[in-house]
């Protein structure tokens, strides 16, 4: 009976830890969504790992480093009107281990010129108590 109780407690603790991790990762995404929709590239970039090892993959290739990704966003989206309105749907969330989570989803941006959409996969890492995107593959 004691073993069953211990196993049950460990299972509940594990579910609690995973739920907390999921909420934290989702909060980063929700913050990014809100920042994008008010036209703040600076706020949006807070979800990314501020490090030269950050990787951002698109059909154009790989961009390395937070500063380069930030500059690309600012060049591509210099105004709130160019940024448009972002929406996304999370299709999959998988905890890889205690410090890494993979998110797969769909994104959609509406602006004055129309609508663009695609898919993304984001690898999050827990760094200094904060979840940050360390790899973004957006198509």
Give one DSSP letter per residue of 69-105, joined into a string: HHHHHHHH--SHHHH-EEEEEEEEEEEEETTEEEEEE
Query: Given this model, what pLDDT does residue 22 score?
Result: 53
How confident is the model over 1-13, as pLDDT tens digits?
Answer: 444 434 433 343 4
Q: Which residue has the tokens 């360390």?
A: 134
Q: How far is CA 122 from the centre of its chain?
A: 5
∠ CA 38-42-43, rounded to 5°: 55
What's the pTM value of the predicted model, to 2 decimals? 0.83
Of 3.10.450.50, 3.40.50.1820, 3.40.1260.10, 3.60.15.10, the CATH number of 2-138 is: 3.10.450.50
The residue ranges of every structural domain in the chain are 2-138
How confident is the model over 103-119, as pLDDT tens digits?
Answer: 999 999 999 999 999 99
Q: Does the pLDDT of residue 129 top 70, yes or no? A: yes
């Amino acid at each position: 009976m004691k073993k069953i109780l211990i196993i049950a407690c460990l299972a509940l603790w594990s579910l609690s830890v995973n739920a907390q991790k999921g909420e934290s990762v989702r909060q980063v995404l929700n913050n990014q969504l809100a920042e994008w929709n008010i036209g703040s590239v600076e706020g949006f970039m807070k979800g990314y790992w501020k490090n030269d090892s950050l990787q951002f993959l698109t059909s154009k290739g790989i961009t390395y480093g937070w500063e380069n990704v930030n500059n690309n966003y600012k060049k591509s989206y210099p105004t709130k009107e160019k940024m448009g309105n972002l929406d996304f749907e999370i299709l999959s969330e998988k905890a890889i281990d205690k410090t890494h989570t993979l998110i797969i989803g769909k994104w959609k941006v509406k602006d004055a010129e129309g609508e663009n959409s695609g898919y993304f996969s984001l690898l999050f890492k827990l760094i200094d108590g904060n979840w940050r995107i360390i790899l973004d593959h957006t198509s």
